[in-house]
Amino acid sequence: MVSRMGERIIRTEEEWRALLSPDVFEVLRMGGTEPPHTGAYVHTSEPGTYLCAGCRTPLFDSSTKIDAGTGWPSFTAPVSAEVVQYVRDTRFGMVRTEVRCVVCDGHLGHVFDDGPPPLGTRFCINSLSLLFNPR
């Protein structure tokens, strides 16, 4: 069953498991993290938009992509403030800010405050949570 509440897409865990590959499911729906330097988009620089791998919502633009040297694709900002939501994450003995897709509530990664000026934000995002749509 798919129910759309405004811009929200709600599926059961079983439905997501059937739709997504196992590695994408683990990151997007279970909050996992891909190993660093393994993702498809760590070093990409082509112009285009990175969509949510769960619901195809445009999330990040290539113009905001930075090489943070972490082994994960990194951005200074989402395409708009409305496409992501933030959750306090205290797992693994750390206090971090988790970034989720606002439409499907999929786990994307985390945001840190050590990004370049003027925004100062660094969105550290799993490649597995994204799909690249070239311009």
Instruction: Considering the complex, state which of residue 55 and residue 124 has its C-beta at the smaller distance from Fe ion.
Output: 55
Q: How many residues does this entry show for the chain? A: 135
Instruction: Considering the complex, state which of residue 99 and residue 103 has its C-beta at the smaller distance from Fe ion.
Output: 103
- Residue 65's nearest CA partner among 122, 22, 134 is 122
CB of 103 to Fe ion, least distance (A): 5
HSE-CB of 126 using CA atoms within 13 angstroms: 26
CB of 63 to Fe ion, least distance (A): 21
Let me know if 124 is a catalytic residue. yes
Contact 127, 40 (CB under 8 A): yes
Indicate which residue of 52, 55, 104, 124 is catalytic. Answer: 124
**Helix H or strand E segment including 61:** strand 58-61
Q: Which residues are near Fe ion by CB under 5 A? A: 52, 54-55, 57, 101, 103-104, 106
Catalytic residue annotation: 124
